[in-house]
Chain A
Amino acid sequence: MSTVKLTVNGKAVSVDVEDRTLLVHLLRENLNLTGTHVGCDTSQCGACVVHVDGRAVKSCTMLAGQAAGSNVTTIEGLAKGDELHPMQAAFRDNHGLQCGYCTPGMIMSAVDIVHRHGGKLDEETVRHELEGNICRCTGYHNIVKAVLDAAGRMKVAQAAE
């Protein structure tokens, strides 16, 4: 057992976990942040994506200990109170989800993609960069539409700040 101290969604937390605990299990089972999902558990599907120090990573492929001292943002940390993050709003408006299982990971990856590419995002880039996130219902079409829509909204929001 080790004590892992990290910041999750802006809040400092300290959790006692077995050393073999994965970050996703610390989030879900110790902190009850069940928005982050475990899909394949083989590092392929991306349902578990969270941001660690600003980078979108697979929390099922990281030990909790590796995240000690880091700043972690999960899907629960994106919205500002009742106001959805522009990416969340765009997924809702564009019907970018059906069963919703992959959605938290999709959104966390998509926010990272927009951060990296800014206003230069096009459809081909979105499709290519989402290759680490698997959706089994939508056929991706509306997800891609949502990400492109959100990229525009995030640019506007940034300009307003």
Chain B
Amino acid sequence: MYETNYHRASSIDDAVAQFAKGTDSKFLSGGQTLLPVMKQRLAAPSDVIDVAKIKDMIGIDVSGDTVTIKAATPHYDVAQSDAVKKAIPALASLASEIGDPAVRYRGTIGGSLANNDPAADYPAAVLALGATVKTNKRSIPAEDFFKGLFSTALEDGEIITAVSFPVPAKAGYAKFPNPASRFALTGVFVAKTKAGDVRVAATGASQSGVMRVGPIEQALKANWAASALDSVTIAASGLLADIHGSADYRANLVKVMGQRAVTAAG
């Protein structure tokens, strides 16, 4: 790892101020992606601003039809939360399958979203549930937040403070994990909103990062059942192809994981 300066922020305002002082600062939350990348010398921030201990950024609040998860809440706490398990069980289940137990103790929802790894799990839930990403400056709808591989609507120095999820009528998530990294080779989140709309998002599949899956949404709108996807075909164009799976393989995985997600949602 190249040299860096570590700062622990005491508040969101302090984090923003510390960030502005560095020549090439980065926010550090759980560090489960940033630190490995820094160790590989693929990132070399002049300053890292630790936001993981800011009290206003940790915790889960469920009120009415909204689940709000503050940005520095670790995956483990989301997976264990009785309130989340009751309101959006698919979200707790998704959090329980990220990485491994040691990673889930440290990694956070805000860090995952800010990094926007094309194979990360949370972006699928945020997009399918139509969540709102809250920052120190504004509220960003999921549709406008994800901007392709490792890229988001966040401006330099803007910090995610919380994510608000509307409670759906039904939701489910299924992923085919890479057997080594546990990242999603492909993961699909399906949601039926309380208004009856169907939203489906896939992670790990597209070259442009997390994506809505129109053909599955249409099929499920007509008939909310795994069998409704039997005749659906997912186009392979624009999908990722690598040593782990071709674009055609991933296209099929989108369909199969979609079916498993519907089954999980019930």
Contact = CB atoms under 8 A, between A and B. Distances in A.
Interface stretch (A8-16, A39-47, A76-84, A153-161): A39-47
Interface stretch (B84-92, B101-109, B162-170, B209-217): B101-109
A61 interface: yes
B2 A57 contact: no
B105 A55 contact: yes
A56 B76 CA distance: 11
> Which label, helix, strand, loop or mixed, suits the secondary structure of the A interface?
mixed
Interface string A53-73: 001111011110110100000
A152 interface: no
Contacts of A58: 102-103, 106
A47 to B, nearest CB: 11
A133 B99 CA distance: 12
Interface string A10-30: 000000001110100000000
B31 A63 contact: yes
B70 to A, nearest CB: 18
B6 A57 contact: no
A112 B103 CA distance: 13
A113 interface: yes
A8 B39 CA distance: 24
A43 B32 contact: yes
A42 B39 contact: yes
A45 B180 CA distance: 10
Interface string B109-120: 000000000000
B182 interface: yes
Contacts of A2: 6
Contacts of B180: 44
A129 interface: yes
A160 B264 CA distance: 42
A56 B102 contact: yes
Interface string A123-139: 00000010111000000
Contact of A20 (B1, B36, B50, B101): B1
B5 interface: yes
> Which label, helix, strand, loop or mixed, suits the secondary structure of the B interface?
mixed
Contacts of B102: 46, 49, 56-58, 109, 132
A20 B3 CA distance: 6
Interface size class of A (residues with CB under 8 A): 20 to 34
Contacts of B28: 63, 66
Nearest to B48: A63
A132 B182 CA distance: 10
A77 B6 CA distance: 28
Interface string A61-105: 111011010000000000000000000000000000000000000
Contacts of B221: none
Interface string B15-56: 000000000000010011001101110000000101010000
B9 to A, nearest CB: 12
Contacts of A129: 101
Contact of A19 (B6, B39, B100, B103): B6
Nearest to A116: B101
Given A43-B36, A61-B32, A112 B5 contact: no
A62 B28 CA distance: 10
A146 to B, nearest CB: 17
Contact of B4 (A19, A66, A68): A19
19 contacts: A18-B3, A19-B4, A19-B5, A20-B6, A22-B1, A46-B100, A49-B102, A55-B105, A56-B101, A62-B31, A62-B106, A63-B28, A63-B35, A65-B8, A65-B50, A66-B28, A131-B100, A131-B101, A132-B102
Interface of B: 1-6, 8, 28, 31-32, 35-36, 38-40, 48, 50, 52, 76, 99-103, 105-106, 180-182
| Across the A-B interface, the 6 shortest Cβ-Cβ residue pairs | A132-B100, A65-B6, A19-B6, A55-B105, A20-B1, A58-B102
